[in-house]
Structure formats: C-alpha cells, structure tokens
Amino acid sequence: MNPLEAETDALQRFYDNKLAIEEARRNNPEATFDYNHPFALMTQAEFKAHVRGVMFKESRSAFRSVRSVQLNVSAPKAESVDWTTGDCVNPVRDQGQCGSCWAFSAVGAAEPAHCIVTGELLDLSEQQVTSCSTDAGSDGCNGGWPYAALTYASTTGLCLESDYPYTSGDSSMTGSCDSSSCTVQQLSIGETVRVSGEEALDTALNTQPVSVIVEAGNSVWMNYRSGIITQCPGAESDHAVVAVGYDDSSYKLRNSWSTSWGEDGYIRIKRGESGLGMCNVAEDVVFPQIGDGPTPTVSPSPTKPTTSPSPTSAQPDVCENCSGCYYPAGDMCLPDEYTKEDCDYYSDEFGAVWCGP
C-alpha cells in the first residue's frame, strides 16, 4: 500500500468508526464514547478478531465439567459492592496484542480470592498462565478460558509477575512455559466452581470478585469511554473480564485493555437484565471457592438425557416464534450457536426447550 492509499484507508477507518460511535451514542444514552483508545483505527472485523480470547464453542463443552454450585441467593446482600475500593484488587493490566484475556480474567479473580483469605495481595504472573495453562484447549495468545486457568493456578501455584513478567502483549507470541525458573506461590484458594444468572452473580460478588465471559467484540465496547452500557449489539460471548462489583443500576467490570480505555480500564454495564444479563455477563460465571466466605451448597449434577426432552403442552406456545433453543427464564430464543445438544443439557438445569429443527 503506497502512502496515498494508506492515508485513504486510515480516513475510511476513521469515518466508519465515527458512524459506529454515533450509533453507540444513540443506543446507549447513559454512556459516552470517543476515539481516544488503542483501537481507534481498527475496522470492526479487526477489532472483533483482536478481542476474541475465549474459544466459546470449545469452552461451552468444557464448562459442563465445572462443578455447578447453588448459592443462597435469598441471603442478605449489600446494596452496592466495589472490591476496587479495598486492598485486594491490583491495578488494571494491558493484555496487548495477545488473545490472553482468559488468563488476565483468571488471575484477576485468583489474586483477590487469595487476598481475602490471607490479607496478602500478590501480583501474579499472567505470562505463566498464558504460556503454561493448556488444559481444556487453552492455547495462549490464540485464546483459552478462565476455568482452566483458575484450576491451573489452584493446583500448580503461580509465580510473581516480577519473576515471570508479561511479554506476550508486545510479541503476540504465547511463549514457551518456563515456570521452573521462579518461586511458585501456593495460593489459598479452593476448587473452581460456576454459577449462572444475575442473582447468583450478585451473591458471589458479596464474597469475592469473579471471572465472567462477555460479549465485547463490538463497536460499543471498542469505543466506550464512561457511563453505563444499556445495549450490547450481537449475541456471542467472546471476551473474559473480572466482575468487581455492582450498584443499584450497573455491574462494574475490570478489563485488560489498559487504563487508557474506558473508566481507567473499567466498564459499567446495566444491571437487572433478564436471561443472560447485559452483554451476557451472567451466563458463564466462575470463581475459586474460599473458606472465608459462605460455602455454596452443591446443586445436583445434571444427567444429560440420551434423547431430547419430551415436549410438554406448553411447547407449541413457547416455540411459536423460536426455531432452536428456547430459554424460559429469559423468555428468549437463544442464538443459533446453541445446538440441540446444548439445549438438551440446559433442559435439566434451566428448563430449556428444543424447538427444532
């Protein structure tokens, strides 16, 4: 591309992003958006590819192996929670040019969990997780998912950031695992467990920050500056962050795109949405159990049916406008990525109904 073509291309990217910002402002009147971020000259396709650090289809099957727990959602909860005002959350990081959000999300949940138990806030190595945690298909800069990383951290331990610094953000390379060269810190965290739904997310946040997977590969997240997101375009979860609190109207999420993005690296999204939550924040919630907080009770492990669920008399009504998997708790037809196999699994735990074809 010659200089003139490069300039024309940059101007076109700027113009396209200008239109995207205008649309985001119309759809999210409680938030602000601008160009002052690291992705200003990316196309939407480039940004979506850059953000995608969670291998969603792979993680969906692996997510089923994570022990589901049932929290006491009726227990008294604080009106608002913000773990960033205490002493157990490290500053916002920058994952750079590497699809390692899953590692940052896991470390961002492990550090405060250990701190809540011990009173010691460690600065742990995201590079070790990126390079060394390969369970459940996690593949460094090519994406992974937080459950595998949290399990790795709890069973193996992690080095300090100062001993095993993060380099993949500049190199875009996963790097070979070299954890033997530093002193591994054994963490005071337990088994990684999962919950779903806003009530369970709220309950968990009263005990600790948690890892969540959200829908972020869109112009709303790309250009976010401040305020509360009330509309998330698209449907596919693709990015892992840390939920660190909530108030009456929003959840506060800790991202890994540096402090030059958003509210010093944080974003707030609407609280009180039905179904999966705004930007799917309440769909895939994982965290390490800690002994200091209330111990969740185990929900019965669902038995995956060998055949599709028998239709009930209500099925024709709920399926009237749904071709695929109907999710009754949110009164919604789930995206096409939810297969019949997924729907059969969710039928036991969430009452999902397969509407065909």
- Catalytic residue IDs: 101, 239, 255
Six-digit token string for 119: 């009173």
Six-digit token string for 144: 């992974």
CB atoms within 10 A of CB 333: 17
Q: Which of 11, 28, 15 is nearest to 224 (CA)?
A: 28
Instruction: Provide the β-strand partners of residue 81.
Output: 246
Task: Say how far apart CA 353 and CA 328 lie, in whole Å.
Answer: 8
Handedness of CA 307, 276, 35, 167 (dihedral sign): negative
Six-digit token string for 46: 């480039």
Pair 90, 176: CB distance under 8 Å: no
* Alpha-carbon distance values, 27 to 31, 44, 252, 268, 343 (Å): 9, 17, 20, 15, 31
Task: Say how far apart CA 262 and CA 269 lie, in whole Å.
Answer: 12
CB atoms within 10 A of CB 46: 13
> Could you tell me which residues come within 8 angstroms of residue 29 by beta carbon, excluding any fewer than 6 positions away?
230
| CA atoms lying within 13 Å on the CB side of residue 325 | 22
